[in-house]
Structure 1
Amino acid sequence: MSEIMIKICGLTTEDTMRAALDAGADMVGLVFFPKSPRHVSLSQACKLADMARGRAQVVALTVNMDLDSLSRINELVRPDLFQFHGSETPEAIAAAKVMFGKPVMKAVAISSADDLEEARFFAVVADRLLFDAKPPKGSDLPGGNGVSFDWDLLKDLDLPKPFMLSGGLDPSNVAEAIRRSGARAVDVSSGVERDKGVKDIEKIKAFVAAARSTFAVAGE
C-alpha cells in the first residue's frame, strides 16, 4: 500500500511555511510559474526550502520549463522532487529524472474516465502521479483553480505508481474526497487560502488535521 502523504502547495511566506511544517505536512510545494499568484523567486524559494529541509519533502512545481531553468532550481533550491504541471511529454520527464537523479511527479488533468488513460503513459516514467481537475475555461493556470472532478473515477484505480489527489480540496471536503477516491495522498493550494495566493494558517492546520484523521480511520 502506498505511503500516506499530505501536501500543502504554493507556500510563499515563512509564516505559512512554518504553519504547514508545524501542522505535520509531509510535502511542501514551491511554485515556479510567473503567471501564478503563488510564484516564488529563487531567493524566496531557497529560504523556504531551508526551513523545510529534514521536516518535509520540498517539491518544486514547474510548468513546461526548460532544462537550464530546472537545473538552476535544482542547484540552488535543492528540492527533494520535481512536480511537472504543464504539457510535458513522458520523454521530457524521463530526461529530467535522469539529469537530476530525483523523483518526479506528473500532474494529469482529469474530467472523465478517458483522461485516466493518459496517466498510464506517464506512470512508466514518473514516480508519482497527481490528479487535478481540468482548468476552467479562460484560466491560464494549469492548477490552483479551486475546482474538483468526480473523485469516484479514482476508486479502485489500478496503476503501477502511487497517485496524489488534488483540485478543489479544502478542510471541509477532504475527508469525503479521501473516502470516495481511495487516495492515500492529497494536495491542497487554493483551498487553504483567504485570498488568491495568500495562505491562511488556520485553514492549513484544519486541512492537515482533517486529512490525517481520515487516513487514520481508513487504515483501521
Structure 2
Amino acid sequence: MKTKVCGLRQPENIIKVLNVGIDYAGFIFFEGSSRYAGQPAFAKWMADNDPLFANTKRVGVFVNSGLDIILNTVHDYHLDYVQLHGNESAGYCRELKLLWSVSTLRKAIICKAFSITPDFDFSVTDEYADSCELFVFDTGGQKDHGGTGLKWDWDKLSEYKGNTPFLLSGGITPHDGRRIQLLDHPQLAGVDLNSKFESEPGIKEVDKLSHFLEDLKA
C-alpha cells in the first residue's frame, strides 16, 4: 500500500520524512492553506535537490488554479503529479492532459480529489477516468480543501465501482494503520496523511509516521 504525506513545506523536515520511506510527497499550492509551499526560495530548493526524490514522487496540490499556473509550477518545482483539489471539471482535466501531450514542458500525472459526503454519488468520478490516473477520496463538507483532521464514513467506499485506483484521505491518525489494513477494496492504492501527523501546520512528526507505517505494513 502506497503512502503519501501531504502539506510539506520545510526542507529539513522534508528530508526526515523522506527517510521514513514514503511513496508520494505532497506540496500545497493553494494560497489559503496554512501549509502553502509557493515560495521562490522553496522552488529553488526543490529543483536543486532532485536526488532526494529518487524514490518518492512529488505531488503538487492545486485548488481551482489557472492552467498556466499549474504548468509553470510543475516546471519550477519538478513535480511528478498534480492533485486537483477544488471544483475542477472533467473537461478541465482533459484540457490539461491535452496541453501536456503537445507541449515540451515537464509533464505530470493528473490526480483528482473528491470530497466525500453522506450523499456523494461515486458515479461522478466516471467522467474523470480518461484523464486522471489516480483519485483521492477526502472528507467533504469542509471549506478548507483538506487538512481538516476530520474523517468520513469509510463504509461508503463499497459504493465506488470504478477502475481508477484511489488514495484514502481525511483525518487518518497514527493509530489507524490496522483499521486501514482491514479495508477491502480492489482499487485502494494507499493513504494520504496530513494534519494528524503534525506538530504544527506543515511540520510532520517522523516518529508518528514511522509507527503508522509499521502498523500499516505489519
- Shared fold by TM > 0.5? yes
User: Are the structure 2 counterparts of residues 135 and 13 from structure 1 closer, same or farther at C-alpha, using a change threshold of 3 Å?
Assistant: farther
- SS for the counterpart of 1:39 is coil
- TM superposition shift of 1:166: 0.3
- SS for the counterpart of 1:184 is strand
- Residue 193 of structure 1 is matched in structure 2 by 198
What do residues 102-129 of structure 1 show as CA deviations (whole Å, max 9, x unaligned)? 2110000112363322222222321111
- Residue 128 of structure 2 is matched in structure 1 by 122
Most deviating of 17-26 and 110-119: 110-119
- Percent identity over the alignment is 26
The size of the alignment, in residue pairs, is 207
- TM superposition shift of 1:158: 2.4
- The separation in 1 between residues aligned to 2:36 and 2:201, in whole angstroms, is 12
TM-score (normalised: structure 2): 0.86
Q: Which runs of 5+ in 1 are unaligned?
A: 214-220
- Residue 217 of structure 1 is matched in structure 2 by none
What do residues 114-157 of structure 1 show as CA deviations (whole Å, max 9, x unaligned)? 33222222223211110001143xxx311111111111221484
What do residues 160-187 of structure 1 show as CA deviations (whole Å, max 9, x unaligned)? 2111100000210133134235333110
- Residue 148 of structure 2 is matched in structure 1 by 145
Q: Answer yes or no: is the 8 Å Cα contact 1:5–1:26 preserved in 2.
A: yes
- The separation in 1 between residues aligned to 2:154 and 2:80, in whole angstroms, is 28
Q: Which runs of 5+ in 2 are unaligned?
A: 101-106
- TM superposition shift of 1:20: 1.9
- Residue 38 of structure 1 is matched in structure 2 by 35
- SS for the counterpart of 2:183 is helix
- TM superposition shift of 1:91: 0.8
- The separation in 2 between residues aligned to 1:178 and 1:109, in whole angstroms, is 22
- Residue 168 of structure 1 is matched in structure 2 by 171
- The separation in 1 between residues aligned to 2:183 and 2:155, in whole angstroms, is 5
1:204 aligns with 2:209: yes
- TM superposition shift of 1:203: 1.8
- The separation in 1 between residues aligned to 2:74 and 2:117, in whole angstroms, is 32
1:107 aligns with 2:113: yes
Equivalent of 1:24 in 21, 38, 43: 21
